[in-house]
A and B are shown apart, each in its own frame.
Chain A
Amino acid sequence: MRVKNYYYASSLEDAFSRLHESNKNAIIAGGLWMKKTAQEYDTLIDLSKLGLDKIEDKKDEVVVGAMVTLREFEHSPVIQSLNSGMTAFAVREVMGLQFRNMATIGGSIFGRYPFSDVIAGLIVLDVALHFYPEAKMSLVDYLSYKGKYDGILTHISIKKDNAKGYFKKVKATALDFPLLNISISKRNNKLYIALGSRPMTAALCLKAMDYLDKNPVDDEAINKASEIACEELMFSDSTNISKEYRIDLAKVYIRRGLKEVL
């Protein structure tokens, strides 16, 4: 990564106008993913001084600033209380503690990384993204948004539903990217299943969820749902895992996860 200028924004308005001064300007959060790219930037715009590093426990939702680090997120008691701790757990599965003291929630979501444990952990909950200039979009809609979104992610809000969760990151070593991630939640009596790192970005298994909604959830229905989930989403090979093995793993962990949250 090559950078000509580093700039601390004084307000969101200031950050946004700087961002659009040149198509070689960019927002920097933790900067960890940006380090991995060979991009050249005119100006990196740092949001650290805009107070976007707070987690607020409100009546019905938790509001998480875009600059909250993964470590702050996973450590927050209110985040740990969501989804029986599984959303915090998913984030704790990312790299080591030093890394998570730097990487942010905003950078992790805005980047829509296909392997993201953060996104997989969140997508089974009711999560909205909030941008500057003022706009709101569900996480699910943002993931299928065509092209790069123009605004600045300021915070996310997570509904405080009564939920029981399951999360599994399949990885070769402790610090590895996931070969597959499986996220399940039983929320307001409905079952949500998501698969990520197939290697595509996490997505809800809508047909499997619909099937479970319409049928008594017994062993047979769980088996069937795991089959449907693997048929409705795309899987492919990566260098260290085949498409077939990914599908086999997904079925097993969906079954385990569903049994765990029931």
Chain B
Amino acid sequence: MTLTCYVNGVLRTFDVTPDEYLADTLRRNGFFSVREGCNESACGACTVLLDDKPVLSCSILSAKAEGKHITTVDGIQDEAKKLSHCFAEEGADQCGYCNVGFALTVYSLKKHNKNATDEEIKEYIVGNLCRCTGYQSQLKAIKAYLKGE
């Protein structure tokens, strides 16, 4: 079957199988910034935005993206740079594998709730696991990013 959707604002058509997941479709077509982690709907490394909402690309069938707008981290480069600067300032990443998922989730938070409280930030990122840090430095970095520092 064919999937027609927008990826980072560009209309694309992909050949997909009915049981193919979006992370696989995107990676097969060169969107290597999309990372697979647990493949169990748990870690958030594969996060992309679907019509502006963070979803797990490892667990959403590609067929469900028909006609929708997909955003990968390539589509938010300016914001991702600002966030990675804040992460670097706070020492909030080590191996970096989870960063892409964090970037998209936090970008969505900024769009929907720029003045998020600590609790709201924590609630937003609970589905993004980081195995290196203890989340405190990330919390500080995200607060700085939301403030635009």
Using a CB–CB cutoff of 8 Å, the interface residues on chain A facing chain B are: 1-6, 8, 28, 31-32, 35, 44, 46, 48, 71, 92, 95-99, 101-102, 174-175
Q: B59's contact among A35, A46, A174, by CB below 8 Å, is which?
A: A35
Asked if B84 lies at the interface with its beta carbon under 8 angstroms from chain A, I say no
CB pair B42 A95 closer than 8 Å: yes
B126 touches A174 (CB 8 A): yes
**Chain A proximity mask over B28-45: 1 for CB below 8 Å, otherwise 0:** 000000000000011010
Docked-complex contact B55 and A32, CB < 8 angstroms = no
The reply to whether B55 and A102 contact each other, CB–CB distance below 8 Å, is: yes
Q: Is B123 an interface residue (CB 8 A)?
A: yes
Q: Closest A-chain residue to B53, C-beta based? A: A101
The contact of B18 among A44, A48, A96, A101, by CB within 8 Å, is A44
Q: Indicate if the CB atoms of A101 and B54 lie closer than 8 Å.
A: yes
CB distance from B59 to the nearest CB of A (A): 5
Contact residue range for chain B?
20 to 34
Are B59 and A96 closer than 8 Å at their CB atoms? no
B126 touches which one: A8, A46, A102, A175 (CB < 8 A)? A175
Q: 29 A-B Cβ contacts within 8 A? A: A2-B19, A3-B17, A3-B19, A3-B61, A6-B18, A8-B66, A32-B41, A44-B18, A46-B63, A48-B64, A71-B53, A92-B123, A96-B44, A96-B128, A97-B105, A97-B123, A98-B54, A98-B55, A98-B56, A98-B105, A98-B127, A99-B41, A99-B56, A99-B127, A101-B55, A102-B56, A102-B60, A174-B126, A175-B126
Residues on A with beta carbons closer than 8 Å to the beta carbon of B124: 97
Q: Is the CB of A5 within 8 A of B18?
A: yes
Asked whether, in the complex, the Cβ of B61 is within 8 Å of the Cβ of A31, the reply is yes
A6 engages B44 (CB within 8 Å): no
Quick check: A97 and B66 within 8 Å, CB to CB?
no
Contacts of B105 in A (CB 8 A): 97-98
